[in-house]
Amino acid sequence: MGQLLALLAIGSLIDGLGGRVDRDASGQITGLHLRASWVTDGDLLEIAKLPQLRRLDLSQTRITDQGMAYLKSATSLREVNLAYAEKIGDPAHAVIKHWKNLQRLNLRGTLISDETAASAAALPELEFLDIADSIVGDFGVDALTAARKLKELSMGNTRISEAGFQSLRQFTTLSHLDLSGKRHGSPSKISQRGIEAIASLRQLRSLRLGHTSFPDKSLAVLATLPEIDELGLEFCPDVADGALQNLISWKSLRRVDLYGTKVTAEGVAGLRNARPDLRVLWE
């Protein structure tokens, strides 16, 4: 009875915060969705007591590192979304390292840096990680090469240099890579050596390079990737009609985003005519 009352109290709390609760067949709470809610650090003390909690969404909330500390005992977690929880910083590493069952972790737009990336790399079941729009640098990216089950990685608009791009060569398990730059201001630059490092990931199926700038010959290099079926080039200022022949000959490609590029209507018409099997997103 005591556990039932506790679960009812948590459910009432989440409803009051404007969130949503997932339950299993026995009524146990397995997921909490609190995106952009008024959840507080103190609320996390109670949430951490849920024995079957698998999914926790705290994106766009005002929780702090103190609140994160309460979640150290929530070791049943499989998915955690902290995207743009902008008061979360590197002290989070001391909590994340205890989530040994975690498979998906979103830290986009937080203040985490290399230490937290290294803690994430040590999680044995981690398959998805988003550290974009953070202050992770070369050391953190190099540490992530130890994440042997990692399949999906987003790391655009971070503080990595050429050395960080070269570390990409060691990510042999990746199928999805997102290096999209910042949406406002000048596009992020990727050097030819960086492009060559990306092209070494022969198992990639999805690549997103939106809002980035790279040398003219880069698409010819990337087109050697044999498994890519989805390519994001939105708002890449260097992509124009001259690059389309590379897309035509890229036989594995099934979807390409050319929105906001310099590709013309005539160029898109030619691409669609040559590759009717290719879905082209454009203006």
pLDDT of 7 over the 60 cut: no
Nearest to 260 by CA among 280, 233, 231, 278: 233
What's the pTM? 0.94
The predicted model gives 12-23 an average pLDDT of 84
The predicted model gives 224-253 an average pLDDT of 96
- At residue 19 the predicted structure's pLDDT band, cuts being 50, 70 and 90, is confident
pLDDT of 194 over the 90 cut: yes
First CA to last CA distance, the chain: 59
pLDDT of 5 over the 50 cut: no
Q: Going from the N-terminus, what domains does the chain have, and what CATH number goes with each? A: 2-174 (3.80.10.10), 203-283 (3.80.10.10)
**How high is the mean pLDDT of the chain?**
94
DSSP structure string for 65-93: HHHHHGGGG-TT-SEEE-TT-TT-BGGGH
pLDDT at 6: 54
> pLDDT for 95-147, tens place per residue?
999 999 999 999 999 999 999 999 999 999 999 999 999 999 999 999 999 99
> pLDDT for 212-230, tens place per residue?
999 878 999 999 999 999 9
